[in-house]
Homo-oligomer: A and B are copies of this chain.
């Protein structure tokens, strides 16, 4: 510590608290969708969240949810909130994982006493989200539209390679690819038709 060095004047008041919240509509919305026994049921919720996020103008065309694997209990949801929250990390997957961990009271969904969890997301995860999945403790992930579909409307997905998936699989995370891909891709097209902004172009 260099106590003789003058205080750095530019830093105060630096931002040191940020609040991450879902759009208000998500709460009521999820109440009207019931039954998450199958992967398709779960993916329909992720896609419905993505679509509603577009229709409400609350963010990009991406939705995600975390479930308890066996019971199908809905634990958390996320919708892309990059522009709404002014935070480039607020992809649907990161939000759903954060809220799931907050609900579980642990930084890992593999904490002792917790049941296995799955992340279901309307689009193939970007590089950041794939990394976030690895640290989250989910034991499985299912995604809908492939990265090519996101790229077709202008979204970059970052450095994700076959070896990236292999890395996760080697650590016991199972991957389901392209589930209800057509329905998921339709939301990307809807966003494009409505002239939604591409925040990471």
Interface residues of A in 118-159 (CB under 8 A from B): 126-132, 134-137, 156, 158-159
Pair A82/B99 contact, Cβ less than 8 Å: no
Pair A199/B107 contact, Cβ less than 8 Å: yes
Q: Closest residue of chain B to A18, judged by CB?
A: B20
Q: Provide the bound-state CA to CA distance between A77 and B3, in Å.
A: 19
Q: Provide the bound-state CA to CA distance between A18 and B2, in Å.
A: 35
Q: Let me know if A6 is at the binding interface, CB within 8 A.
A: yes
Pair B22/A34 contact, Cβ less than 8 Å: no
Size of A's binding interface in residues, CB under 8 A:
78
Could you say which residues of chain B place their CB within 8 Å of the CB of A102?
15, 18, 86-87
Pair B130/A75 contact, Cβ less than 8 Å: no
Could you say which residues of chain B place their CB within 8 Å of the CB of A167?
127, 158-159
Pair A14/B130 contact, Cβ less than 8 Å: no
Q: Provide the bound-state CA to CA distance between A85 and B20, in Å.
A: 13
Pair B7/A99 contact, Cβ less than 8 Å: no
Q: Let me know if A74 is at the binding interface, CB within 8 A.
A: yes
**Which 5 A-B residue pairs are closest in the complex by CB-CB distance?**
A128-B131, A127-B131, A159-B167, A88-B135, A159-B164
A-B contact pairs, 13 of them (CB 8 A): A2-B33, A5-B33, A8-B33, A11-B74, A15-B102, A17-B21, A18-B19, A19-B20, A89-B89, A89-B98, A128-B129, A159-B161, A161-B163
Known A19-B19, A89-B98, A131-B131; 7 more pairs at CB < 8 Å: A7-B34, A11-B31, A82-B107, A87-B101, A88-B107, A130-B131, A131-B158
